[in-house]
């Protein structure tokens, strides 16, 4: 059996050389349907009571079965293709495959019937549906025979001039022999991936996040097939408008306008992804009313919203559905000008700005994250241009002795321009301002003791500083690394010296020798320990805060192909340490 399947895979992978064969991309999807991308196809049968008012018109492609309805639909102006609900009867199941020798005859019978009922000599034939797409490999003997049957069946339909479209209801597994099987199927048949979302999930997420969820899922589905070589033009997406509970679709969503909104978002997401990936077609399913649970009077209105979103000439949804229907076709959509990588609300982040910052970070995604965080924090702080320029002057004075040429050389060495450096200084100022507003819990005596034991080798020194700096707000006491400038620990005891930092000029007197904090009585160094621990806790509080803010901003972000930036705590001054406003972490490069 395995040798037969391998032979079929090899044969199916050979490009069809005959004129009109299905291996080459046809000029028509089916009779009268130009292969635009994407083609919209709606499944409709006789139980769809509203088919005439919604689907029976020019510009709509209907997939249906049976001769009578197809004739009526074509008379109303619609284009039809054949939809076969009985693939199981024709090829069997993975547990009970039919006789492989009968596949060609069975395919011939379906093809001839499809030609008759569709009025098309080379019809598209939808096959509902492949069983066991997600079955892992290696396949059992019966599964292997079933897959061989399916491949032989669609291949024969293609040989006869049809265009089979195999519906798939679960995520295809591509391991082992499955990848070659899917690749072979993609040479002779389209593959339609069913994506049935619970409308409540999308509605609750909102138009931005909900649309992103849909687009991401559609891309992921198609990527599975694209990765093994199935042509994009052979791939379709089927979206659901079911009303039967437990099947995906409406799932009881109320008020009804929220369901109409989800239908609109599905159409927009499907079109976006189809255009990005150049997929062949988008299908709708779920309009039927075969059961009581499926008889939803709102379906005809949902169909109007679906059709209007695709083409406003197909149905006047704003008028029919009334003012409670949101007719905005832009909200939640990727509508970015050329050169814009992301947008936070109406604030653009250009690819050029990310590339410029990348010269410093050496990482494109890290640079993007930093710029997004900057926009978020800029909304919440009051750091102005004057503040940034003042910080720049202090950096030049304190770390480059006022030599701006040396400062510019250091920027060049780091891969930063003056605007990039000023952006970093603004980040530093904003972070200081924001961190100062965050509440932290006071440290207990036991916590301070543990901190001292853990950090017993930290340098400590009793000093007097005028005026009082941030790292010794009491003015006199023990200064503790790492928050204290290194120079404080280097001078001899009893000496008074001037210290210049970006915080200002200070007069420092060393009142004692530098020693390890673990060698000092706990009572004496407790204020210094508390100060250092508070610095750490405030940094941790800021990290938690910024990650929450970044998560909260996702619904405001629009990015190319929904590639949102990674979330994280980015300190750009680590790439140019002379720009940090925390003196203990500053280093000045030796220019070449």
Residue 35 pLDDT? 76
> Which residue in this structure is represented by tokens 């409709």?
44
**Spatial contact of 60 and 81, defined as CB atoms under 8 Å apart:** no
- HSE at residue 578, side-chain half, CA atoms within 13 A, is 25
SS3 57: coil
Token pair in block for residue 88: 């199981």
Residue 16 pLDDT? 34
pLDDT tens digits, one per residue of 95-136: 999 999 999 999 999 999 999 998 899 999 999 999 999 999
Whether CATH 3.20.20 fits 2-14+36-321? yes
SS3 280: coil
Q: How far is CA 424 from CA 200, 482, 579, in A?
A: 43, 22, 7
> Which residue in this structure is represented by tokens 């070589």?
229
pLDDT tens digits, one per residue of 328-344: 999 999 989 999 999 99
Token pair in block for residue 224: 């599975």
Judged on CB neighbours under 10 Å (0-12, 13-18, 19+), 247 is: middle
SS3 168: strand
Average pLDDT of 278-296? Answer: 93
> Which residue in this structure is represented by tokens 């007097």?
464
The domain locations on the chain are 2-14+36-321, 340-439+544-585, 446-522
Instruction: Report the 3 state secondary structure along 216-269.
Output: HHHHHHHHHHHCCCCCHHHEEEEEECCCCCCCCECCCCCCHHHHHHHHHHHHHH
pLDDT tens digits, one per residue of 167-204: 999 999 999 999 999 999 999 999 999 999 999 999 99
pLDDT tens digits, one per residue of 418-439: 999 999 999 999 999 999 999 9
**Spatial contact of 186 and 236, defined as CB atoms under 8 Å apart:** no
**Spatial contact of 188 and 158, defined as CB atoms under 8 Å apart:** yes
Tell me how long the chain is. 592
How many whole angstroms separate alpha carbon 458 and alpha carbon 548? 32
DSSP string, 513-538: --EEGGGS-HHHHHHHHHHHHHHHHH
**Spatial contact of 307 and 54, defined as CB atoms under 8 Å apart:** yes
For the beta carbon of residue 498, count every other beta carbon within 10 angstroms. 8
Residue 4 pLDDT? 47
**Spatial contact of 192 and 237, defined as CB atoms under 8 Å apart:** yes
Of residues 316, 296, 295, the one with CA closest to residue 307: 316
- What is the CA 149 to chain-centroid distance, rounded? 37
Residue 25 pLDDT? 43
Identify the sign of the CA torsion 92, 98, 104, 109. negative
């Amino acid at each position: 059996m395995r040798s037969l399947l391998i032979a079929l895979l090899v044969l199916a992978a050979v490009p069809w050389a005959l004129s009109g064969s299905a291996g080459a991309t046809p000029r028509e999807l089916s009779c009268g349907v130009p292969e635009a991308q994407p083609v919209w196809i709606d499944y409709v049968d006789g139980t769809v009571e509203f088919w005439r008012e919604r689907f029976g018109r020019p510009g709509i492609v209907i997939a249906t079965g049976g001769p009578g309805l197809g004739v009526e639909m074509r008379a109303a102006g619609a284009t039809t293709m054949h939809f076969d609900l009985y693939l199981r009867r024709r090829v069997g199941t993975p547990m009970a495959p039919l006789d492989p020798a009968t596949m060609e005859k069975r395919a011939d019978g379906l093809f001839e019937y499809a030609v008759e009922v569709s009025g098309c000599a080379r019809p598209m034939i939808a096959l509902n549906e492949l069983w066991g797409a997600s079955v892992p490999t290696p396949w059992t003997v019966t599964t292997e025979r079933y897959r061989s049957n399916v491949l032989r069946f669609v291949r024969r339909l293609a040989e006869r001039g049809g265009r089979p479209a195999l519906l798939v209801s679960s995520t295809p597994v591509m391991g082992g022999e499955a990848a070659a099987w899917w690749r072979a199927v993609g040479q002779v048949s389209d593959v339609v991936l069913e994506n049935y979302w619970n409308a409540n999930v999308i509605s609750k997420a909102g138009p931005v996040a909900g649309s992103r969820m849909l687009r991401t899922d559609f891309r992921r589905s198609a990527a599975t097939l694209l990765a093994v070589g199935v042509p994009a033009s052979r791939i379709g997406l089927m979206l659901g408008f079911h009303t039967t509970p437990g099947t995906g679709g409406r799932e009881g969503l109320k008020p009804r306008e929220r369901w109409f909104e989800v239908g609109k978002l599905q159409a927009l997401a499907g079109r976006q992804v189809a255009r990005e990936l150049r997929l062949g077609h988008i299908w709708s399913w779920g309009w039927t009313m075969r059961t009581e649970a499926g008889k939803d009077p709102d379906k005809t209105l949902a169909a109007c919203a679906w059709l209007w979103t695709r083409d406003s000439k197909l149905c006047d949804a704003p008028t029919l559905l009334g003012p409670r229907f949101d007719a905005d076709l832009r909200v939640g959509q990727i509508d970015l000008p050329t050169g814009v990588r992301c947008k936070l609300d109406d604030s653009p982040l250009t690819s050029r700005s990310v590339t410029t910052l990348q010269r410093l970070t050496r990482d494109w995604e890290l640079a993007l994250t930093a710029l997004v965080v900057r926009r978020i924090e800029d909304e919440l702080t009051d750091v102005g241009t004057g503040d940034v320029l003042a910080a720049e002057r202090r950096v030049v004075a304190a770390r480059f002795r006022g030599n701006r040429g040396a400062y510019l050389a250091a920027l060049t060495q780091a891969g930063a321009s003056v605007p990039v450096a000023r952006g970093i200084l603004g980040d530093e100022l904003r972070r200081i301002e924001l961190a100062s507003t965050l509440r932290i819990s006071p440290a207990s005596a036991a916590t301070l003791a543990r901190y001292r034991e853990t950090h017993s080798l930290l340098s400590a020194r009793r000093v007097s500083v005028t005026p009082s700096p941030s790292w010794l707000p009491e003015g006199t006491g023990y200064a503790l690394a790492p928050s204290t400038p290194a120079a404080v620990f280097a001078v001899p005891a009893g000496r008074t010296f001037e210290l210049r930092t970006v915080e200002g000029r200070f007069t420092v007197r060393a009142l004692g020798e530098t020693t390890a904090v673990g060698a000092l009585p706990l009572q004496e160094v407790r204020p210094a320990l508390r100060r250092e621990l508070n610095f750490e806790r405030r940094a941790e509080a800021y990290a938690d805060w910024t990650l929450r803010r970044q998560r909260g901003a996702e619904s405001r972000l629009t990015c190319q192909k929904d590639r949102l930036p990674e979330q994280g705590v980015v300190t750009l001054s680590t790439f140019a340490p002379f720009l940090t406003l925390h003196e203990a972490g500053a280093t000045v490069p030796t220019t070449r």
